[in-house]
Homo-oligomer: A and B are copies of this chain.
Amino acid sequence: MEEKDQKQLLKERDKLSLKLGYLQRVMKDYNVPVMILFEGVHASGKGRLANELLISLDPRYTKFYATHTPTEVERRKPFLWQYFTHTPSHQEFTIFYRSWYSLYSAIKNNPALYDAYEDPEVLLEEMKSFEKTLVDDGTELLKFYVHIDEDKQKANIQRMYDNPRTMWKAQEYDRDNDASYKKEMDALLAKEEDSWVHIHYKNRFDTVNEVMSLVVERLEKRVKKEKKRVEEGKENNDGFFDGSFKNILKDHDEEEELSKSAYNEKLDKLQKEVRDIQYTLYEKKIPLILVYEGWDAAGKGGNIKRVVRQLDPTGYEINTTAAPTDLEFKHHYLWRFWRQVPKTGHISIYDRSWYGRVMVERVEGFATNKDVRRAYGEINDFEKSLTNFGAIVIKFFIHISKEEQLKRFEARQEDEDKVWKITDEDWRNREKWSAYEEAINDMLDKTSTEYAPWTVINGNNKRFARIEALETIIKVCTERFFDKRFTDS
């Protein structure tokens, strides 16, 4: 290339860089998260492209995430974990250098890499849902695939060999892996043609500018769309929750009393069994997820306490879900829960959970009806990712009657040791009982899946509720330990 052309290209790059900086500030004002990923064969130049783009952006609002050989911690978490937890906030850009596509292809090529997945094909569905979940939430997703001519690729690799400092990097290059990656990607690209942007690497001057122009173009389009959206004003919160719902939450039959001593004896026995279950989970490397939802004062906290009483504290965690922190609020609502996913062999207990999206956020209008409608599928996808990975997901809804709740509220108010537990908010929520009833029924209906069903527990009698939770955990886990699909492998 002529030196004059180079100078011209560098000048253009500076202009593109300024434009990008401007567009990033605008996107930030519109709260749009941006994800840009680079895939391509070894030594295709994608590293240089990614870095040039990276340094054109404002480092305060730009993150970079490189896919690598999974670490032992990553291998103990579901496939999507590292990616979901690294999605940008509503004011950030994240550049992914190699992505879930590379990882998927590596696993397909060598299933031992992530031995939880007997059939890596299930990951394709997860990847699709993952992208959809984020795009639906407002993320701008740009996927670059970098092509390079074979002789140019060879020359690039040779250059790495020739430099004593980079020789080790060239030595890492594995021709076989690269070939199978290329084959896998060709198939995927053919299937998802529309969603990818193809780049043919020419040289470090032209191609960098090409990528930057394409990013500018895409962002300008998005800015236009956002402008229009703001001009058109707030969308109507369209109907959907019309009061018709399947009534799953029925009143409980009265149960007979369980004497304190019989209860204590049973409790102790079951708690010891659950402790043994914990050891087996650990041995078999199965993560267990226990979700607790229920009315205020239903007894979730006390129930959880009974479950963990005899557990080994190094293997379980109780996650209580309160209002999100400012950082959590700037991400997709599932982001914080992805961050809490247990590793293999561990138990994560949720005192309230991601179901807040379809309960409190729906009833209080923190989420639009559209958001809520979408959430059922997103939650099912999330739990599918967990169970694909081998997790056991048990979900309890502890149901008490409206009268029982009143009794408990009043008792709390009169007990100086418990009065701190009852707040004005509890009374306000109680006034919305029927709206919650509708939301809960919808939730039970739409998110009770074969792989993660709900168990509705009668909470009117706390002793029964605790015994039932323990028995359910023991039953579900034991069935799994003897499930042929898992033991035969």
Q: Are A313 and B279 in contact (CB under 8 A)?
A: no
Q: Is the interface of A mostly helix, strand, loop or mixed?
A: helix
Q: Beyond A71-B73, A97-B313, is A59–B276 a contact (Cβ under 8 Å)?
A: no
Q: Is the CB of A47 within 8 A of B312?
A: yes
Comparing A233-241, A302-310, A422-430, the segment that makes contact with chain B is: A302-310
**Chain B nearest Cβ from A254, distance in angstroms:** 29
Interface presence of A326 (CB below 8 A)? yes
Encode contact with B along A281-299: 1 for CB under 8 Å, 0 otherwise.
0010000000000000000
The reply to whether B314 and A97 contact each other, CB–CB distance below 8 Å, is: yes
Residues of B within 8 A of A55 (CB): 305, 308-309
- Residues A234-251 near B (CB distance < 8 A): none
In the complex the two chains form, is B163's CB within 8 Å of A50's CB? no
Q: Does A166 contact B (CB under 8 A)?
A: yes
Complex contacts, A165 vs chain B, CB 8 Å: 276, 279-280, 283
Contact B51 A308 (CB under 8 A): yes
* Partner of A314 from B21, B66, B304, B325 at Cβ < 8 Å: B66
Number of copies: 2
Does any Cβ of B come within 8 Å of A64's Cβ? yes
Asked if A417 CB lies within 8 Å of chain B CBs, one says yes
- Contact between B97 and A59 (Cβ–Cβ < 8 Å)? no
* Contact present for B322 and A325 (CB under 8 Å): no
Given the contacts A51-B308, A279-B166, A311-B51, A317 and B60 also touching, CB distance less than 8 Å:
no
List of B residues within 8 angstroms of A169 by Cβ: 279
**14 residue pairs from A and B, CB less than 8 Å apart:** A47-B312, A51-B311, A54-B313, A59-B304, A59-B318, A59-B320, A66-B314, A71-B73, A72-B72, A169-B279, A325-B325, A325-B326, A326-B327, A327-B327
